[in-house]
């Protein structure tokens, strides 16, 4: 099975209604990730076949939880996960990819240009120093930090009534126990990633 076929099957299994142009952009993103990874060390996953499940489909499990929202911040975006797949799947969503590593943001800018992602903005900054004109109704992270640090470093970026969406592996009992006062876990949702035999969870957190 080709990478493109695996991607199509995975998208169908996730129940996402993506058109040909979106599927082509996801495939194009995969190719860019594979190409730039050799030089920029964007991900520890070197095999493009594994990138389909470990990165693209894993990131796309976030998409159903973006409904009804308008601005998404991907903190510590790295190689663009989950922000770029989310931006491809939701072209109506304004997505900011934030990372302090200028090499990684160089890749992210190039990817956004080559893929024609007009809804993506790339920012090179430490998260605590980032001061956007407009706050975000959703802040996500896939590999940025533990939950406590994630929420401690980003409250100035969250709009009133907004939520944090943290993508995690196994159910993060210990991390949840370390969350600071003033926030609460709304729910922890198990995620099923096609082709990935590993536990994945989405932790939704809100201000009290």
Altogether, the residues listed in the chain come to a count of 208
Other CB atoms within a 10 A radius of the CB of residue 91 amount to 15
Other CB atoms within a 10 A radius of the CB of residue 150 amount to 22
Q: Is 76 annotated as a binding residue?
A: yes
The C-alpha angle with vertex 11 and arms to 9 and 15, in degrees rounded to 5, equals 110
Q: Is 188 annotated as a binding residue?
A: no
Q: Is 81 annotated as a binding residue?
A: yes
Q: Which two tokens stand for residue 202?
A: 């989405």
Q: Is 128 annotated as a binding residue?
A: yes
Q: Is 127 annotated as a binding residue?
A: yes
Q: Which two tokens stand for residue 25?
A: 């952009």
* Strand residues in the chain grouped as ranges (E): 71-75, 94-99, 120-124, 136-141, 158-168, 183-191, 200-207
- Going by the annotation, the residues of the binding site for S-adenosyl-L-methionine are 76, 81, 127-128, 142
- Going by the annotation, the residues of the binding site are 76, 81, 127-128, 142
């Amino acid at each position: 099975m080709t990478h493109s076929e695996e991607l199509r099957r995975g998208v169908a299994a996730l129940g996402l209604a993506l058109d040909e142009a979106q599927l082509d952009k996801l495939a194009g993103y995969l190719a860019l990730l594979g190409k730039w990874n050799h030089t920029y060390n964007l991900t520890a996953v070197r095999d493009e076949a594994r990138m389909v499940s470990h990165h693209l489909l894993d990131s796309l499990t976030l998409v159903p939880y973006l409904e009804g929202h308008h601005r998404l911040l991907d903190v510590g975006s790295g190689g663009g996960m989950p922000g770029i797949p989310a931006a491809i799947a939701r072209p109506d969503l304004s997505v900011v990819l934030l990372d302090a590593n200028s090499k990684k943001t160089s890749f992210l800018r190039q990817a956004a240009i080559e893929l024609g992602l007009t809804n993506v903005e790339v920012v090179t900054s430490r998260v605590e120093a980032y001061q956007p004109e407009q706050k975000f109704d959703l802040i996500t992270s896939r590999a940025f930090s533990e939950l406590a640090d994630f929420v401690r470093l980003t409250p100035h970026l969250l709009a009133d009534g907004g939520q944090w969406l943290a993508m995690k592996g196994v159910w993060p009992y210990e991390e949840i126990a370390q969350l600071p006062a003033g926030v609460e876990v709304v729910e922890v949702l198990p995620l099923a990633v096609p082709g990935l035999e590993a536990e994945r969870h989405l932790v939704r957190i809100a201000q009290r």
